[in-house]
Amino acid sequence: MGAPVVRLLTGEDASPARGGPGGLLRSQRLSAIRLLARLHHRGLENPLLPLPAVLAVAVGFFLPLGVLVMYSFWPTENGRIVHQWTIENYARFFTEQAYWRMLLRSFWLVALASAFTVLMSFPFAYFVAAKVRPSQRLIWILFAIIPFWTSYLIRVLAWLNMFGDEGLINKALTGIGLVHEPIGVFGFGRTAIVITFVYLLFPLSFLATYIAIERINPAMLDAAADLGARPWTRLVTITLPTARSGIVAGFVFAFIAMMGDYATPQLIGGTNGTLYANLITNQFGYSLQWGFGATLAVLFLLTILLLVIVLRLIVGGVEAAGEYTGGFTRRPAPFLFGYSILYLIFLYTPPGLLVLLAFNDSEETGLPFVGFTTRWFTEVFHNPVLIDALWTSLQVAIAAALISAVFGTLAAVQIARVKGRMRSFNLGMISVPLFLPPLVLGLAIIVGLNALGIQRGLWTIIAGHTILTLPVVTLLVLVRLEGLDRNQENAAMDLGARPWRAFLTVSVPQALPGILAGVMIAFAISMDEFILTFLVTGSQQTLPLYIFGSLRIRVTPDLNAISALMLGASFLLLTLGALIAIGRERLRGRERVARMMPLKAEAAS
């Protein structure tokens, strides 16, 4: 709004009295200013902005999910769905013990693995959040999450090399003479599944717990210690009550991810590797029992929702942890420091050995180390099938990341500027795929396509990956936009700039780190995604599908070489991002110091 208009509406040239007609006129003019300001800023609060993202989730997930529920009430005859309503599929599940016992057994195993994940990640998260200086925390966090951003199948492959009678663990134990024959607990089985699950989901549980603990004011812990409270008392009365939201979130995220994982049990579990997720996928594959498979999937989803509700009722409300203070407790914690070092060793030993084996001049993938060679890397680059799979993965990842960036940014722009039910609805709709296993999303998509008679292809992979990554991009951009000072944007619009021009020239440059972070994470998720891709692909083969197909036959040296290359690429990208983040933070610190210097000089004079 231009200055002349402001003077005309506010009557700056006049000096009306506080009361009487002049005061009433001034009140009316101020009301007119507010109305014009709302109309002037309406462009970025347009309820149509989140519509592409909301429609993408509704059409790509909720509608197919509705079809999945319908399929659960239809029988299958000769591999074809019969459109006849019945509860036969549900009766079959509850009357045949093998099915509901498999659900309970999988539920128990996954809950145990999730609990171990949370218990083992809590001391490390507490050490980083409460004992490490804020200036050094980013380094510790990077070391903790780098394995999480490497390929999921590569991490499974790393443990595939470790387990078994001929695995690295048993070979090392027998080689140094501690045992005379392989130990069964380090063979392929349920123990191996639990260990691998803990390893895969530790970084996610660590982040959820760390974020909650970081908000605890260290002064509360120091005050309790000064009053004589022992460490165990401080943990039970202060840390756990305020951090339980992060602990429960870490458990739920780990449980959902593990419960929907059918690849790890199949590769690591041996003959005992069948879990409920494997049972579901078999109905849509070898058995061709789509109706019964839909029933198993619906019950699977209801089980997860029931778990979340029960945990919410048990945990109850969450005590306020306060705002981030940047403080830390200075009391030494040698036990926590030693535990953190050991856990980092646990995280990096399997991929480190995998990289070592990639240079082993042997046709076998295990030890001993025969000699150094790079020929396996040469074979990788001369493998046309692998190169085609890599190119397909790149096409899918680039398309999904860009679509998610556009839809997610449009939605975040509007959601960041409104409040109330519409904000909650849009944010809830877009975020739903983030809290459900990719298994459910993949099954819903293929059932929906089957009902419509549409063939699967490259576009179905892109669509599935877009729905999967859209919530991540939206939330990252939203967090960045809500942290910006909107006064500069408002000033640009007061000087005559249209809302979109003000947003593009003022807010986008400041929000660009969030947008780029969203694109990079969406790209990484898409490149790594296997569970969803395996279900929705047609004849196309992505890199994770190529790796999984090779692992089902045997582990070869060129797979170790592929893994080493992917690990190196992930490490370089994360390191580059961290260096950029550290550089930007230091630059901002210098700018703040530079702005404070004249003020200090003026105050001194």
pLDDT greater at residue 41 or residue 411 = 411
CB 123 within 8 A of CB 338: no
pLDDT tens readout for residues 48-93? 888 899 999 998 888 888 889 999 999 888 878 888 899 999 999 9
Q: What is the pTM of this model?
A: 0.77
| 233-247, 258-272, 456-470 — most confident range | 456-470
Kindly report the CA angle at 202 between 235 and 324, in degrees rounded to 5? Answer: 50
CB 262 within 8 A of CB 293: no
- pLDDT above 70 (res 310): yes
According to DSSP, residue 360 is labeled B
Q: Which residues contact 45 (CB under 8 A, 6 or more apart)?
A: 414, 417, 418
Q: What integer pLDDT is reported at residue 321 of this predicted model?
A: 45
- pLDDT above 70 (res 444): yes
pLDDT tens readout for residues 221-232? 667 766 766 766
Q: What integer pLDDT is reported at residue 24 of this predicted model?
A: 56
pLDDT greater at residue 445 or residue 508 = 445
Q: How far apart are CA 24 and CA 218, in angstroms?
A: 53
Length of the chain: 605
What percent of the chain stands above pLDDT 70?
80
| 305 confidence band (pLDDT: 50, 70, 90) | confident
Q: In the structure encoding, which two tokens stand for residue 304, read together?
A: 């997860």
CB 76 within 8 A of CB 82: yes
3-state secondary structure of 556: coil
User: Is residue 115 packed enough to be buried (19+ CB in 10 Å), middle (13-18) or exposed (0-12)?
Assistant: middle
Q: Which of 248, 545, 541, 304 lies closest to 440 in space, CA to CA?
A: 304
pLDDT greater at residue 419 or residue 31 = 419
pLDDT tens readout for residues 499-546? 777 777 777 777 777 788 788 888 888 888 888 898 888 888 898 888
Q: Which of 338, 213, 123 lies closest to 221 in space, CA to CA?
A: 213
User: Is residue 40 packed enough to be buried (19+ CB in 10 Å), middle (13-18) or exposed (0-12)?
Assistant: middle
Mean pLDDT, rounded, for 263-291:
82
Mean pLDDT, rounded, for 417-445:
85
CB 174 within 8 A of CB 230: no
Q: Which residues contact 263 (CB under 8 A, 6 or more apart)?
A: 153, 156, 530, 531, 534, 548
CA 496 to mean position of chain CA atoms: 41
Q: Which of 559, 523, 560, 528 lies closest to 544 in space, CA to CA?
A: 528
3-state secondary structure of 540: coil
Kindly report the CA angle at 39 between 35 and 40, in degrees rounded to 5? Answer: 110
Q: What integer pLDDT is reported at residue 183 of this predicted model?
A: 83
Q: What integer pLDDT is reported at residue 14 of this predicted model?
A: 43
Q: How far apart are CA 102 and CA 475, in angstroms?
A: 36
pLDDT tens readout for residues 383-412? 888 889 989 999 999 999 999 999 998 888
3-state secondary structure of 76: strand
Averaged pLDDT of the chain? 79
Q: Which of 464, 458, 424, 429 lies closest to 445 in space, CA to CA?
A: 464
Q: What integer pLDDT is reported at residue 364 of this predicted model?
A: 75
Q: What integer pLDDT is reported at residue 407 of this predicted model?
A: 92
pLDDT tens readout for residues 312-366? 777 765 444 444 455 566 667 788 889 999 989 988 888 888 888 888 888 777 6
Q: What integer pLDDT is reported at residue 439 of this predicted model?
A: 86
- pLDDT above 70 (res 172): yes
